[in-house]
Amino acid sequence: MDNAIIVSFISCVLLGSCTSSPPNFVLLFADDLGFGDLGCYGHPTSLTPNLDRLAAGGLRFTDFYCTSPACSPSRASLLTGRYQTRSGVYPGVLYPGSRGGLPLNETTIAEVLKPLGYATAAVGKWHLGIGANGTFLPTRQGFDQYLGIPYSHDMGPCQNLTCFPPDVKCFGLCDVGTVTVPLMYNEVIKQQPVNFLDLENAYRDFASDFISTSAKKRQPFFLYFPSHHTHYPQFAGPGAAGMSLRGPFGDALLELDNTIGSLLETLEGTGVLNNTLILFTSDNGPELMRMSRGGNAGPLRCGKSTTYEGGMREPAIAYWRGIIQPGVTHEMASTLDILPTIASLAGAKLPQVMLDGVDMSNILFSQGKSKRETMMFYPTNPSETYGVFAIRLEKYKAHFYTQGASHSGTTPDQDCSIFASLTVHDPPLLFDLEADPSEHYPLSLDKRPDLQAVLGRIRKVKEQFEGSMVFGESQISKGTDPSLEPCCSPQCEPKPNCCHC
């Protein structure tokens, strides 16, 4: 019996709703959020009541991973179920004038669902390329509608922009010498520079209208909401500014949580909450170089741009009222697994390519074992020369290479900083993540034949995986062209300063 039938049966029995309506999917994706940043993950001063409510009524993951400690490659893997090395979204991230983007021959979650009649929408941070004439925008990748900033909101000068009311300027300079960040609807620039104080309201209204319209049409839907929160520079409008105990970071996080609360109200009010799977996670770990403005990895080591746990283990919540039983799972899962899971639940065909994700249904509906035994850890600049930097096999993690990063600087741990240069480990550093999630105490292999056997298994997994990995053409190495930077007045001069509307 396939999962679509199983879910329909569960819904019929538990909810008294014997309909054949396909499930809806809401995918919430935070930005630079650390493992320890949410109240339900132990932060003492974060105000995240709606996310905490989802966690209390749903399934909270303790061992959930992204595929890259950087934005663009992590998003590519989320939407395709494939490591970023296959799609070519590496090294680093895409920029406003990047020539490349997520290749159109890659199949996104939206494209998996479209043949089944799903309405699809994306709202927020895309960061998978724009390209010439909008080649790589969401509307070219399976989404019916899009509202958002097509890349990171720090990729444009922000020193004179307002991030908090009444007129608190954004922290830092952001990227200078480029166009100010635009707000796009589908493929048209609606505002440049974006108004940060009203941005979240625009996203909330767009997403709520999409849900309401789909529900009214009785059309199944997929809503992808990659938020800008809590990436630097943090911002928040009047509904959240100054209302948390964590300062600007906490206010930005509260604004995201408020939006999630509004979406839950819309799902409830339109009568589709009981038929909607809500998934929440983040793209990578916290940007520790920003100190208190950069997030918190909790007990995990380092953060963004590193392959330590703090860079790639993320908070994650799955909620489906009446279907997913409340609890906590310690099973390993990944953003890679979201596409196969959604496809299975919708009864959709999987893309005919090498997928790295597995179906999580057994975890979600039975709190059973994961099909995932391994997780690969690529750095922000992966190469065929070095291959994976680390591998997790069951509870063990082996680091073949370690390297610090500027994004994880300022912490007392010197192995996190940019001055911690690339180091080869032979034999690899081996950690028991159940006993030592902070990766402080490498296991000694001396007189431990059991650990030698574990290491042998890990080496075999590494050899097999890297033997099957075919690196796609690097999209980011195609470089940038200033003429591709989005400008609401394409013929104006002098650029980029004249791009204002």
Q: Is 486 exposed, middle or buried (0-12, 13-18, 19+ CB in 10 A)?
A: buried
**Contact indicator for 340, 109 with CB cutoff of 8 Å:** no
- Hey, how many other C-beta atoms are within 10 angstroms of the C-beta on 388? 23
Q: Give the closest residue to 92 by CA, choosing from 466, 485, 474.
A: 474
Q: Which residue has the tokens 């595929």?
A: 67
**Contact indicator for 223, 25 with CB cutoff of 8 Å:** yes
Taking the alpha carbons at both ends of the chain, their separation in whole angstroms is 55
Retrieve residue 387's tokens: 């291959």
CA distances, 471 to each of 75, 402, 474 (Å): 17, 21, 8
- CA gap 48, 40 in Å, rounded: 8
- CA gap 22, 35 in Å, rounded: 32
Q: Give the closest residue to 409 by CA, choosing from 401, 424, 419, 399.
A: 419
List b or e across 75-96, with b for residues whose CB sees 16 or more CB atoms inside 10 angstroms. Answer: bbbbbbbbbbbbbbbbbbbbbb
User: 3-class DSSP state for residue 88?
Assistant: coil
Q: Which residue has the tokens 């680091």?
A: 399
Q: Give the closest residue to 204 by CA, choosing from 251, 150, 258.
A: 258
Q: Which residue has the tokens 């934005």?
A: 71
Rounded to 5 degrees, what are φ and ψ at 99? -75, -30
**Contact indicator for 159, 169 with CB cutoff of 8 Å:** yes
**Contact indicator for 373, 352 with CB cutoff of 8 Å:** no
Q: How many residues does the chain have?
A: 501
DSSP codes, 5-28: HHHHHHHHHHHS----PPPEEEEE
The set of catalytic residues is: 71, 127
**DSSP E strand boundaries for 181-254:** 183-185, 188-191, 221-226
At position 79, the amino acid (one-letter code) is L
Retrieve residue 403's tokens: 């390297």
